[in-house]
Amino acid sequence: MSARVGRAPITRTPRPRDRRAQILAAASDLFYRFGYHNVGTEDIAKAVGITPGALYRHVRSKEELLASALSDSFERATIVIDRQLPGGFAAVVGDLAETAAHRRELGVLWTRETRHLHAEYRTPMLERFFAFLGNLTAALREARGELSRDDAQLLSWCLLAVLTSASYHRVAASPEVTTTLLRDMALRVCEARIDGCGVHEEPVAGRGETGLPPRARREALLAVAARLFGDRGYQSVTMEEVGAEVGMTGTGVYRHFATKGDLLSAIVARATESLQLGLSRALSAATTPAAGLDNVVAAYIDFAMAHTDLVNVLLAEVMNVPQPYRHRIRRAEHDYVAEWVCLLAATHPELDRTTVLFRVHAVLTVINDVARTPHLRGQPGLVDKVRLVAAAVLHG
């Protein structure tokens, strides 16, 4: 019976047991689509269908949401590695591929958004990631006893790049199809024969280890801004900080670039123009689609190894480029990938379009991740090893 005549009884809707999981899923999706800085807790609460106050009963902050979403993925992956699966290492890869297929946002969240975490969250997360990577490397060496520790670590990193590559494109495929494609490509990476490559070659130089800074102020600003945007994120860097790095005041920077958006647009334009020039050279030196594909892969490896800051910006900051220039950049990126797709499809006409797209994006992600990882760049023969891994993914 209600407390007052004429008023309906007060009923309470029970709080779902999986409310925190719903919040994490909504936050991950919004961070993935719009970027961490462009999403507020009120947006996340609205996506779940609760009030911001109700959201804070489950998490302390937006930052905790991002950290929790990534930590959850590491926990799942660690469980897979620790289990003794009947199918051995191949079964481990299959389980990891299934997780990646159902959480396609994880690669972008890790690459683009972890920069915004404070040490309280970032340090333990990095520790967990490298512990997981160490276990994965050990499992791969157990499966392939002939691999050196360096080669096993490189292949493990490439394997993870393949598994997270679906995060960087929106090619439609069911979770089951995605799992199969990711698993098959990852297993080909694990089987790649890279031992003996470039034992006498010098390692790729790390960022800032060689070369002279540009003397022209505009070029110096572009170089510094690319590094700062890549390291800390576009929205965390001020024009004054960019100017200070090259000995200029904030007003001096504005004489070259009217807004920070103009500065970012100029960096992205520099990157896309460089890619197109490399693509043109690669195609002009080939007479068959297969040779063209090999040349294009080699050109992109050279670009990524030489311009890690530009790669960082292309991967993480295009969403911050002002409209309508952003549309032109997206178009240029699409056209660049389309050339790879045409070459692979012509080389392997037996492959369906979905498989071709997944393979192309997997190779691009492998190259990007290896090029931007300092301790891998120190390996002798790295460029040749990455080319072999790329060939294993593309040609099967």
pLDDT in tens, 208-264: 445 667 778 899 999 999 999 999 999 999 999 999 999 988 788 999 999 999 999
- How confident is the model at residue 131, as a pLDDT? 86
- How confident is the model at residue 75, as a pLDDT? 73
| 138 has pLDDT over 70 | yes
Percent of the chain whose pLDDT exceeds 90: 71
261 in Cβ contact with 235 (< 8 Å): no
From 381, 49, 48, 360, select the one nearest 204 (Cα to Cα). Answer: 381
From 163, 155, 160, select the one nearest 192 (Cα to Cα). Answer: 155
pLDDT tens-digit map of 285-296: 999 999 999 999
Question: CATH classification of 19-190, choosing from 2.60.120.200, 1.10.10.10, 1.10.357.10, 1.20.1250.20?
Answer: 1.10.357.10
- How confident is the model at residue 143, as a pLDDT? 92
Q: Which tokens hold the place of 133? A: 């990577």
Residue with tokens 């294009």: 296
User: Could you name the CATH architecture of 217-395?
Assistant: Orthogonal Bundle (1.10)
| 198 has pLDDT over 90 | no
Query: Which residue intervals of the chain bear CATH 1.10.357.10?
Result: 19-190, 217-395
Cα(246)–Cα(215) distance, integer angstroms: 10
Cα(80)–Cα(204) distance, integer angstroms: 33
Mean of pLDDT over the chain: 89
DSSP string, 132-173: HHHHHHHHHHHH-TT--HHHHHHHHHHHHHHHHGGGG-----
Assign 132 a pLDDT band (cuts: 50, 70, 90): confident
- How confident is the model at residue 8, as a pLDDT? 44
What Cα–Cα distance (Å) separates residue 172 from each residue in 87, 163, 164, 178, 355?
A: 29, 16, 15, 9, 11
pLDDT tens-digit map of 60-83: 999 999 998 888 777 777 776 766
275 in Cβ contact with 303 (< 8 Å): yes
Assign 9 a pLDDT band (cuts: 50, 70, 90): very low
Considering 25-39, 126-140, 152-166, the range whose residues carry the highest mean pLDDT is: 152-166
